[in-house]
């Protein structure tokens, strides 16, 4: 038996996969399985990352979708997709779906942690934003929603002193005309329309991007909700309450709002923290109200998906045209 009780493949350092890949190290472990560093004996001096999916039917099927979407993106790319992880190939090994990827470096959560959660400089945040938006612009042209943008799913590849930022983990992605799941996105980065049970589309990724960029800049998650109710309260604390028309569109709004559309304030120890509009984004960022970065993230964090900036327009935002001095 090659698996543990949860369906993870038991990786042994030094073992081979099909005589080709030698297992060197475990790079990451998540709900889907593990990602391992391998030496590729077929190509001289090369290393790859292999995602070994747990042998569970549902995860296997989701892995198939991840492969389909990544191959699709690769086929329409012609070299222009340098901000999306490259898939090399995939195969089955001892009942596990395996996906072979180009090897990348640390993820953004690792970077924030290495920096002791103190926040990164604005130049770096801008570089991440710019490159991530290029990947999101491609996804948006192909009508693909990533559905799980967060620091752990953005990796850095160091190429001769230059950072290349790459989006990974298409295990929850879908085409915009085929949104089957309602329970998506990691909670801290979950958009209001998903929380409230509305129709959703590409703008959910822009919401997550806004949360991610603020986190990079401050070092701490912007909306660290411990439950969905708290998640929405934390959002309202910063961007105020949504309109009545917006609330009416949600199939789950009754769990969050009273009949008069006022937010239900749940009794908990952190209750007082949740007063709508009580915390301003500029004070969280410690930036003046005319800051271009503040303006940029505000346009990602709009209640209404239609009002949120698109990747195409975001790439033209004036924030990218100026070089910050000291912020």
Residues at the interface with ligand ADP (CB under 6 A): 27-28, 30-32, 35, 49, 51, 85, 101, 103-104, 107, 152-153, 155, 168-169, 171
Q: Determine if 153 is a binding residue for Mg ion (CB under 5 A).
A: yes
Nearer to ligand ADP, 9 or 101 (CB): 101
Nearer to Mg ion, 168 or 198 (CB): 168
Q: Which two tokens stand for residue 27?
A: 């790079």
Q: Which of 260, 247, 264, 147 is nearest to 198 (CA)?
A: 247
Which of Mg ion, ligand ADP, none lies near 49, with the C-beta cut-off 5 to 8 A by kind?
A: ligand ADP
Q: Which of 165, 171, 199, 176 is nearest to 186 (CA)?
A: 171
Q: Which residue has the tokens 């693909």?
A: 144
| DSSP letters spanning 80-102 | --TTBPPEEEEEEETTEEEEEEE
Q: Which two tokens stand for residue 19?
A: 């005589």
Select which of 110, 148, 169, 260 is catalytic.
Answer: 148
Q: Which two tokens stand for residue 273?
A: 């923290």
Which of Mg ion, ligand ADP, none lies near 99, with the C-beta cut-off 5 to 8 A by kind?
A: none
Least distance in angstroms from the C-beta of 204 to Mg ion: 16
* Per-residue contact flags (x/-) with Mg ion for residues 94 to 133, judged by CB under 5 A: ----------------------------------------
Distance CA 152, CA 221 (A): 12
Distance CA 246, CA 262 (A): 13
Nearer to Mg ion, 8 or 303 (CB): 8
Distance CA 89, CA 102 (A): 10
- Quick check: helix, strand or coil at residue 240? coil
Angle at 134 between CA 78 and CA 303, to 5 degrees: 140
- Distance (Å) of CA 16 to CA 36, 44, 94, 220, 313: 12, 16, 12, 40, 47
Q: Which of 173, 100, 179, 165 is nearest to 135 (CA)?
A: 165
Residue nearest to Mg ion (CB): 169
Interaction with Mg ion in 155-174: which residues (CB under 5 A)? 169
- Check whether 51 is labelled as a binding-site residue: yes
Least distance in angstroms from the C-beta of 60 to ligand ADP: 13
Nearer to ligand ADP, 158 or 262 (CB): 158
Nearer to ligand ADP, 110 or 324 (CB): 110
Least distance in angstroms from the C-beta of 152 to Mg ion: 5
Q: Which of 167, 6, 8, 151 is nearest to 81 (CA)?
A: 167
Which of ligand ADP, Mg ion, none lies near 50, with the C-beta cut-off 5 to 8 A by kind?
A: none
Nearer to ligand ADP, 40 or 304 (CB): 40
Distance CA 291, CA 309 (A): 17
Least distance in angstroms from the C-beta of 277 to ligand ADP: 34
Residue partners of 296: CB distance under 8 A and separation at least 6: 129, 213, 309, 314, 317, 319
Active site residue 148: yes
Which of Mg ion, ligand ADP, none lies near 27, with the C-beta cut-off 5 to 8 A by kind?
A: ligand ADP
Q: Determine if 66 is a binding residue for Mg ion (CB under 5 A).
A: no
Q: Which residues bind Mg ion (CB under 5 A)?
A: 153, 169
Catalogue the active-site residues. 148
Binding site feature residues for ATP: 51
């Amino acid at each position: 038996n090659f698996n543990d009780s949860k369906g993870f493949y038991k990786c042994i350092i030094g073992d081979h996969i099909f005589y080709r890949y030698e297992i060197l190290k475990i790079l990451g472990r998540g709900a889907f399985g593990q990602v391992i560093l391998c030496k590729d004996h077929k190509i001289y001096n090369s290393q790859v990352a292999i995602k070994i999916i747990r042998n569970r039917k549902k995860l296997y099927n989701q892995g198939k979708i991840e492969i389909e979407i990544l191959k699709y993106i690769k086929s329409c790319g012609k070299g222009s997709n340098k901000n999306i992880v490259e898939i090399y190939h995939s195969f089955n090994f001892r009942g596990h779906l395996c996906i072979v990827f180009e090897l990348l470096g640390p993820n953004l959560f690792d970077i924030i942690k290495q920096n002791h959660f103190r926040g990164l400089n604005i130049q770096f945040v801008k570089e991440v934003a710019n490159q991530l938006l290029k990947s999101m612009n491609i996804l948006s042209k192909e009508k693909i929603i990533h559905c799980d943008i967060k620091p752990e799913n953005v990796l850095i590849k160091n190429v001769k002193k230059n950072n290349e930022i790459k989006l990974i983990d298409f295990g929850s992605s879908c085409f915009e005309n085929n949104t089957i799941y309602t329970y998506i996105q990691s909670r801290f980065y979950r958009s209001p329309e998903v929380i409230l049970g509305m129709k959703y589309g590409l703008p959910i990724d822009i919401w997550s991007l806004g949360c991610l960029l603020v986190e990079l800049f401050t070092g701490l998650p912007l909306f660290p909700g411990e439950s969905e109710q708290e998640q929405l309260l934390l959002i309202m604390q910063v961007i105020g309450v949504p309109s009545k028309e917006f609330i009416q569109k949600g199939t789950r709004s009754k769990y969050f709002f009273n009949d008069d559309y006022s937010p239900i304030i749940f009794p908990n120890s952190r209750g007082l923290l949740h007063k709508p509009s009580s915390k301003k984004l500029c004070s969280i960022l410690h930036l003046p109200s005319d800051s271009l970065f503040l303006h940029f993230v505000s346009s990602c964090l709009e209640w209404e998906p239609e009002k949120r900036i698109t990747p195409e327009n975001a790439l033209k935002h004036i924030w990218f045209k100026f070089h910050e001095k000291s912020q």
